Amino acid sequence: MPSVFHGRIRIGLVSLLLGLAAFSAAQMRERVWARYEAEMQDPVEDPPDAGRRGEFRIGRLRYRSPLDGRRFGGYARWGIDANKGDRLFIGILRRLTRIDVEPIETIIDVDSDEIFETPFLLAISVGDWVLSPSQAKRIGEYLRRGGFLMVDDFHSSAEWATFMESLERVFPDVNVVDIPNNDPIFHVLYDVKEIVQIPSISFWYGTGGGTSERGRDSATPTVRAVSDRDGRVLVVMTHNSDFGDAFEREGDSREYFERFAGAGYAFGVNTLLYSMTH
- Pick 250 or 145 by higher pLDDT: 145
Residues 22 and 154 in one domain: no
Residues 86 and 209 in one domain: yes
| CA distances to 60, 143, 272 from 185, in Å | 21, 18, 9
Model confidence, pTM = 0.87
* pLDDT attached to residue 4: 43
Q: What is the CATH number of the domain that holds 239?
A: 3.40.50.12140
pLDDT, tens digit, for every residue of 91-141? 999 999 999 999 999 999 999 999 999 999 999 999 999 999 999 999 999
Residues 245 and 205 in one domain: yes
Residues 120 and 21 in one domain: no
Residues 7 and 96 in one domain: no
Residues 173 and 210 in one domain: yes
Statement: residue 5 has pLDDT above 60: no
Average pLDDT over residues 241-268: 87
Average pLDDT over residues 20-29: 43
| CA distances to 119, 146, 147, 193, 276 from 264, in Å | 21, 25, 22, 13, 19
Residues 100 and 186 in one domain: yes
What is the domain extent for residue 44? 39-277
Residues 200 and 269 in one domain: yes
Please, which pLDDT band fits residue 72 given cuts at 50, 70 and 90?
low
